[in-house]
Chain A
Amino acid sequence: MKVDRRPGSGVAKIHIEDDGSYFQVSQDGGMKKLEKAKISLDDCLACSGCVTSAETVLITQQSHEELRKVLGANKTAAPDQQKLVVISVSPQSRASLAVRFQLNPTDTARKLTAFFKKIGAHYVFDTAFSRNFSLLESQREFVRRFRGQANPEQALPVLTSACPGWICYAEKTHGSTLLPHISTARSPQQVMGSLVKDFFAQQQRLTPDKVYHVTVMPCYDKKLEASRPDFFSQEHQTRDVDCVITTGEVSKLLEEEGVSLAELEPAPLDSLYVVTGRVGRAVSSPSTGCSPPGCPKGPDGWQKGPRPLTQALAASLFPRLASLGPSCASVSKMLELPTTGRWSSELTLTSHRSELPGQVVRQGGQSFASQASSRHTFKALGSMAHLRLRKQTLSNLRQRLLRGLGGQRPQHHLRPGLFPRCSSASAQEPTSHRGGGSGGYLEHVFRHAAQELFGIHVTEVTYRPLRNKDLQEVILEREGQVLLHFAAAYGFRNIQNLVQKLKRGRCPYHYVEVMACPAGCLNGGGQLKAPDTPGKELLQQVERLYGLVRTEAPEDAAGVQELYECWLQGAGSERAGRLLHTSYHAVEKAGSGLSIRW
């Protein structure tokens, strides 16, 4: 193969166009299209060093530059071409940014929200919320597998699934040996993908491809995870997570905007789900100075007072009730709720997102009832309401409606009436989970299993370090007998030893929290570095700031039970299985060049 070499100093910059053509960018910015080099079998050394392997390409396709492109396109696109931009931030990335800018976690979260909205995002969420689901599913799954109630092929130990670096390694290197052991629970990133593209998109009455979902993560492997075919919707031709950017890339975005996070005015936090008087809605608080069109302002800028229940609304919320015949007035009377005959555009809570001047995403407010896509969510609610109606007295029903479906003790202050004020409804502080900076899987599954399987309540989990600080074990003992033997194995060398033990049938653990990075996610490859601070010290600071966030049990987190009921139709349902779990695929090893028969 003849190579046309041009002498020159410095490294060439290559730019890949959307159509896959390559351009060389010279120092003055000039672009020159590069010829495609053709390689024949004769040139192949079968060296297994192929750069054409998808991974490098996949990683470069997702970057902060990609995000910029989408945000830029949104600004000038026609309304029906615009996308709703949602950014989900991981608590680990937030902790890293908090250290860099010397802020507490709450301020970091609020200022990040302000920043992302400033550059064109519409909603900013926290993946600690979706992590609740990952933890709950992991807990349930372990107990099932321990009791032998799951698929007989799925033996113990159970190995965690949240780390894509680990998953890629397991699929490539040990295929059939390891995959049956890996938890099927989706990672917080991918649960958020389901939440945003299924629940939230429906709520916004958008098809999933009209939502551009970005996540901010502490490593690059999360980009690979987002590109997995299992997380691509064939029906809507869209990924659950469209773009993953690392903490480092957020820092670049801030630099490019000439903004220091510390200087920004904090914005109120968004919640994906808020327990409301009637039914949960994503609530976005606008940045200062803006308000959505058609919304009469109260002293704090928002509509006050209960919303009127119109016939259209009642019919859409309770289609079965409506089909039974009662008119809007009767329904309202039954439920003792205020009504008016007038259709008000303020009913569209979802239009209460921050819209900066010149960045209108959708024209006007659109009614709930007029969107066919809304039917799905409402149908579910409607049938549930119907069942409840049958089972409960009307006064009970009213209580339930006011408190939110699911009957849980409400976590937030609720005003009687259908729609709360936005500013009081969303939590203004981030929450987190116990058990370390990689999500707390071991901790939560251990405590839940101890309770469920043995009736033992564990208050404090004691970690015992083994041969190195990235390998720790936890034991539940009773009268000298070991009931549960769990471990956390971080870093490649510990993964190696774990896998070898497994292969030889000598693994003593029931559950192992596996993370590819030594010290876990807080030390991920995409986290911010500090030139003046040694790595160890920096990590300690990040761990400290991560630990400042208030923790709560996943089953207690606001909105979780409600979403299980109204979005998933119950934990353990087919929907829950589809949206909160995934599967793995062994990668066939390509034979070495010597074994291939040419």
Chain B
Amino acid sequence: MKDSLVLLSRILAHPDSRCWFLAWNPAGTLLASCGGDRSVRIWGREGDSWVCRSVLCEGHQRTVRKVAWSPCGNYLASASFDATTCIWKKNEDDFECVTTLEGHENEVKSVAWAPSGNLLATCSRDKSVWVWEVDEEDEYECVSVLNSHTQDVKHVVWHPSQELLASASYDDTVKLYREEEDDWVCCATLEGHESTVWSLAFDPSGQRLASCSDDRTVRIWRQYLPGNEQGVACSGSEASWKCVCTLSGFHSRTIYDVAWCQLTGALATACGDDAIRVFEEDPGSDPQQPTFSLTAHVPQAHSQDVNCVAWNPKERGLLASCSDDGELAFWKYQPSEGI
């Protein structure tokens, strides 16, 4: 297991500061990182190493907490503690801030693009989730302000193929939203975690959602549509989500991030105990009661809390991670045969 996740290289991405988040572009050729130094950096591969191609430092007044690439790869959104979200347009190696989304009352914690590319979601410590629509002229308008959570909202993520939005919060719940008539509504609340839910990731099919929490567990939730074979109750025409697996006992501290590889189905976690772990679903496990096994564990992946893990969308087994120590690391995941 020790050899399953191998360090490729380490970079001090955000010196004297935390590196908060990483995002691969859809082509898998660029990695965006953001940090407490208020900057966003774009990394590209040159041979075997990664070099900084651009530094976007004029956009924000405070920490940049998350970055997200648009599905077309031409735009990058950055969410900041200064309560704004910048939209950057890529022009070769240059990025230009084309718009700043304002409206949240305080720190914006996350930003995510919908697969269609027309919608953007942001969430904030002000407990709200906002859905924005972008038109052909790159004009952004707020479509909905959702106030379902009762506490700080930490993360938002879109379903890989449907216009379904998920959010994670300090109120220990995960909420799902969809469009109804001319507004967005909360269509499901997933309860079960015993503490702050920090991050979310959909599996490649979109049928399952992974959540990670301060309660040191990862939960896997499965969607059940009305009239499902398994007889899971649904309210009216609304889909139901049930927790089908809980990974507990593996992490000794808060789990800050979870990433589900769209190529291989492997699940990576970023933990407050400075470690990175990878899980895989056991072959032949019951879809209604899946089991996962730990296939990789690097105890001192970083010298401080690991904040983010991100699978490269095109290159199998390439994983990036970042930490409070300001470093960015690249790993190769190669599970040994016959686990």
Contact = CB atoms under 8 A, between A and B. Distances in A.
Interface string A472-511: 0000000000000000000011001100100000000000
A467, A469, A500 — which one has the most chain B CB atoms within 10 A of its CB? A500
Interface string B124-151: 0000000000000000011111000000
Contacts of A492: 145
Interface string B103-131: 10010000000000000000000000000
Interface residues of B, number: 10
A52 interface: no
A48 interface: yes
Contacts of B183: 468
B182 A493 contact: no
A496 B142 contact: yes
Contacts of B163: none
Given A468-B183, A469-B182, A493 B143 contact: yes
A467 B145 contact: no
A48 B124 CA distance: 14
Interface string B42-56: 000000000000000
Nearest to A506: B139
Given A468-B182, A468-B183, A469-B182, A496 B106 contact: no
B194 interface: no
B182 A500 contact: no
B191 interface: no
A496 B182 contact: no
Contacts of A496: 103, 142, 145
A467 B140 CA distance: 13
A31 B102 CA distance: 47
Interface in B142-170: 142-145
Contacts of B143: 467-468, 493
Contacts of B144: 493
B121 to A, nearest CB: 13
A500 B102 contact: yes
Nearest to A48: B106
A165 to B, nearest CB: 14
A171 to B, nearest CB: 14
A497 B142 contact: yes
Interface string B77-105: 00000000000000000000000001100
B104 to A, nearest CB: 10
Contacts of B103: 496, 500
Interface in B170-185: 182-183
Please classify the interface of chain A as helix (H, G, I), strand (E, B), loop, or mixed, using the class held by over half of its residues.
helix
Interface in B243-285: none
Nearest to A470: B182
A467 B135 CA distance: 12
Contacts of A493: 142-145
A48 B141 CA distance: 27
Contacts of B142: 493, 496-497, 500
Chain A contact patch, size range: under 10
A492 B144 CA distance: 9
Contacts of A500: 102-103, 141-142
Nearest to B146: A493
Interface in A532-572: none
A48 B81 CA distance: 14
Contacts of A469: 182
Nearest to B131: A493
B52 to A, nearest CB: 28
B106 to A, nearest CB: 7
Contacts of B145: 492-493, 496
A497 B182 contact: no
A594 to B, nearest CB: 8
A497 B141 contact: yes
Contacts of B106: 48
A467 B141 CA distance: 10
A332 B13 CA distance: 97
A220 to B, nearest CB: 16
A48 B107 CA distance: 12
Contacts of A467: 141, 143, 182
A200 to B, nearest CB: 41
A500 B85 CA distance: 14
Interface in A271-327: none
B224 to A, nearest CB: 25
A48 B126 CA distance: 10
B152 to A, nearest CB: 10
B303 to A, nearest CB: 25
B17 to A, nearest CB: 15
A357 to B, nearest CB: 51
B118 to A, nearest CB: 13
A327 to B, nearest CB: 71
A468 B182 CA distance: 5
A538 to B, nearest CB: 17
B36 to A, nearest CB: 12
Interface in A432-479: 467-469
Nearest to B101: A500
Interface string A516-538: 00000000000000000000000
B128 to A, nearest CB: 9
A496 B145 CA distance: 10
Contacts of A468: 143, 182-183
B55 to A, nearest CB: 23
B274 to A, nearest CB: 27
A496 B103 CA distance: 7
A8 B132 CA distance: 45
A6 B163 CA distance: 48
A570 B141 CA distance: 45
B237 to A, nearest CB: 15
Contacts of B182: 467-469
Contacts of B141: 467, 497, 500
Interface string A41-56: 0000000100000000
Contacts of A48: 106
Nearest to B62: A594
Nearest to B82: A592
Residue in A48, A469, A497 whose Cβ sees the most chain B Cβ within 10 Å: A497
Contacts of A497: 141-142
Q: 9 closest pairs, A vs B, by CB?
A: A468-B182, A496-B142, A493-B142, A497-B141, A496-B103, A493-B145, A492-B145, A497-B142, A493-B144
Given A492-B145, A493-B143, A496-B103, 9 more contacts: A48-B106, A467-B141, A467-B143, A468-B183, A469-B182, A493-B144, A496-B142, A496-B145, A500-B141
19 contacts: A48-B106, A467-B143, A467-B182, A468-B143, A468-B183, A469-B182, A492-B145, A493-B142, A493-B143, A493-B144, A493-B145, A496-B103, A496-B142, A496-B145, A497-B142, A500-B102, A500-B103, A500-B141, A500-B142
Interface of A: 48, 467-469, 492-493, 496-497, 500
Interface of B: 102-103, 106, 141-145, 182-183
